[in-house]
Structure 1
């Protein structure tokens, strides 16, 4: 899908369970990053809040319903998506218990990963995960 000449708006959802595993999807056979692990997320629809887009994308791609979200940050490097300039708003949540994910939408798979650093991630999702973990560490100290 070609992107418009103005930046596109997306959302990325960092979902941890009580065991500190992260929920990742496997991208379908579409470029960029076909078959790679990624955070659940996607394009924000017209008339939709970014928060609701995060919840919708997580549900569509993993079958998991998300309620409480905490802002991680805004990611706007023009080179973060090889298709064109895409700005993403990332959120984090911690589920009290792991729910079995069911891949759907444009996800070829969805699973809980113990050590996300051991897998190759699409886009700038490693940076987003690092920022989410740092945010949660600071929050625990407060």
Structure 2
């Protein structure tokens, strides 16, 4: 079971601090790979840290799970945290996100949406992102690439 789900048994909907990683995977045209998480809602591959993982371990595991890609060298762009990253889910769970954002041009494997966490995967120009991209991911991309 995922670590944060174990914590929820004890704290209910009370705020948690949840660390995780996101990765800007860039192709040779400088386009960024976006994950369609549900129809019309886009984000970057990534997710929450599990016990014993580093931010880089989390990035690599989540990218593989969500895209089918193995990633090479990672460059840390920035770590995002604070009141702007407070989230209240529709089920009442609340948390503060701490997100390490990386970028890489090094990847191998076949891009494959798993149909569960990823509806589709597609490269986009950083200056022409889809309307349905979540606000935090737009900021991560703009800060890293523009």
**Do they fold alike, i.e. is TM over 0.5?**
yes
Deviates more, 1:7-16 or 1:81-90: 81-90
Unaligned runs of 5+ in 2: 89-94
Q: TM-score, normalised by structure 1?
A: 0.78
Larger radius of gyration: 2
Unaligned runs of 5+ in 1: 29-33, 135-142
1:68-116 deviation digits (Å, cap 9, x = unpaired): 00001011133435332111111000137x8641112511111112355
Whether the 8 Å CA contact 1:80–1:123 is kept in 2: the answer is no
2-structure distance, mates of 1:4, 1:87? 16
Question: Aligned Cα RMSD in Å?
Answer: 2.4
Higher strand proportion:
2
Query: Of residues 16, 20, 38 in structure 1, which corresponds to 2:43?
Result: 38
Q: TM-score, normalised by structure 2?
A: 0.76
Matched, 1:78 2:90: no
How many pairs align? 128
